[in-house]
Amino acid sequence: MAGDAMNDRRFRLLLAPLILALSACGGGPKEAPPLEGARIGGPFTLTDQNGRSFSDKQLAGKWRIMYFGYTFCPDVCPVDMANITAGLKAFEASDPARAAKVVPIFVTVDPARDTPAVLKQFVSNFHPRTIGLTGDAKTMEGVEKAFAIFAARKEGSTPGSYLMDHSRQTYLIDGEGKPIALIPADESGKAVAELLDKWVS
């Protein structure tokens, strides 16, 4: 009996480092996503840059980078999209398998001007998997509301000219359509890559 107890104790002592090692390799509790449980997103059916109907169901199992902007944006939107592209390409270089699950999506806040043809030309400047989405004004307002996006037309100095004031948050959405984190597209490609590497599974 004493020998059995001693052997059991030795077994537990030998097992302890293994349990610790497994915990360090991800077996322990993981950090909760910053946007876990947030009421952001939802189902949608819009029109893509090829003029085809496109719904969120077509993204099942894919991680999404959701960016809201407009093609006539003079400075901010192209820079943010360039950072998203650079970040995703860097992530592809370090982990092609996980990066292949990520789809960048550009959703217009200016549907009056951003027709599928205009979107197609715009998104062709960025990552080849980028999807451009548009729709009628009422539908786009609903999508903006679902994703907590502010957008408002700001009249220009000449008749018919205008810019769009809009919020700039970029969302990382998982394969089930759940919000995970805000992507720092306004910072750098490196920051985007680091966030993707942290959360995409």
User: Is residue 127 a known part of a binding site?
Assistant: no
- Tokens 């398998």: give the residue: 97
**Residue 165 in contact with residue 154, Cβ under 8 Å?**
yes
**Residue 196 in contact with residue 172, Cβ under 8 Å?**
yes
Q: What is the DSSP string of 91-121?
A: HHHH-HHHHTTEEEEEEES-TTT--HHHHHH
Residues found in the chain = 201
3-class SS letters over 179-198: EEEECCCCCCHHHHHHHHHH
The residue type at 27:
G
- Residue 80 CB-half CA count within 13 A: 24
User: Is residue 25 a known part of a binding site?
Assistant: no
User: Is residue 73 a known part of a binding site?
Assistant: yes
E runs forming strands in the chain = 45-48, 53-55, 63-69, 102-108, 131-134, 151-155, 162-166, 171-173, 179-182
Q: Residues annotated in the binding site, as ranges?
A: 73, 77, 166
Q: Residues annotated in the binding site for Cu cation, as ranges?
A: 73, 77, 166
